[in-house]
Amino acid sequence: MLNIAIEAAQQAGTFLKQNLGRVREIQVKQGQEKNLVTEIDRLSERIIIDMIRRHYPSHDILAEESGSKRNTSAEYRWIIDPLDGTTNYTHGFPVFCVSIAVEWKDELLLGVIYDPNYEELFTAEKGRGAFLNGKRIKVSQIDSLNQSLLVTGFPYNIAENPDHAIEHFVNFLIKAQAVRRMGSAAIDLAYVAAGRYEGFWEVALNPWDMAAGALMITEAGGKITDFAGSPFSIYKKEVLASNGLVHGEMREVLTKALR
């Protein structure tokens, strides 16, 4: 399954890169005026699903654009984001990726994130570690928030400030060495796993945004929870991921907006 996920992600990623700057149709998802979808998203998703169906026709699929193709008797579920970073893509900004994960009985088994712009292939298998282009990766060893480079993203309804998203951002700006905002949650998580960032937080995410990256965090030696420190689930709407060493400090910052 890992080999099929890698092949599908690379084929879809190559397709995305070849069509960068050629988007003809941009639509807004229902009820979310800033959440975009293009014909490129759908075609990329078709490449991935067709490959999975050829090899594993009985498996369940959860994909961002086509939703759930639920097979209630299936033990395996593929979770697909065919283009994470659609807004970046529509502007020709080269920060986007393909993300594919597989669950077995609600447990994440493997994850693949492919960035076609840098030709970086992040992979993880449960109990077998996380890798970048075949080389094992580990989270960073920085243990102080004021020396940490963090990354976050904003929900599409940021104007409504869900879950104090704006306050959290301001509070981390003050406490951390620096904060970045790239526009791809999957890449954000992969970069934490690779030690490029010390931590990541965000609200209002979906399973396909987080599934592959979440497994990479744990397999690279990091920690991932919800904001309260409770066990993480890709079916929750918030995520706090870190190298583990600054996790407690990040949780303290997240509680400030609630006081």
Instruction: Give CA–CA dist 189/81, Å, rounded.
Output: 14
**pLDDT computed for residue 258 by the predictor:** 82
| Closest listed residue to residue 231, CA positions, set 106, 147, 142, 114 | 106
- Mean pLDDT, residues 50-72 taken together: 85
Name the one residue in this structure whose structure tokens are 């931590």.
199
Quote the percentage of the chain above a pLDDT of 70. 94
- Mean pLDDT, residues 188-209 taken together: 97
Core vs surface per residue 121-156: b (16+ CB within 10 A) or e: bbbbbeeeebbbeeeebebbebeebeebbbbbbbbb
Judging by DSSP bridges, how do beta strands 97-104 and 107-115 pair with one another? antiparallel
Instruction: Give CA–CA dist 150/97, Å, rounded.
Output: 20
* Structural domains in the chain plus CATH codes: 2-136 (3.30.540.10), 145-256 (3.40.190.80)
**99-140 residue pLDDT tens:** 999 999 989 999 999 999 999 999 999 999 999 999 999 999
Task: State the average pLDDT for the chain.
Answer: 93
Give the least confident one: 27-36, 119-128, 174-183. Answer: 27-36
- Mean pLDDT, residues 171-187 taken together: 98
pLDDT surpassing 70 at residue 69: no
Residues 187, 85 contacting (CB under 8 angstroms): yes
> In this structure, what DSSP letter does residue 257 have?
T
pLDDT surpassing 60 at residue 33: no
- Mean pLDDT, residues 222-229 taken together: 97
| Closest listed residue to residue 98, CA positions, set 19, 24, 11 | 11
Q: Which string of DSSP letters, residue by residue, matches 135-177?
A: EE--------GGG-EEEE---TTGGG-GGGHHHHHHHHHHHSS
What's the pLDDT band for 209 if we cut at 50, 70, 90? very high
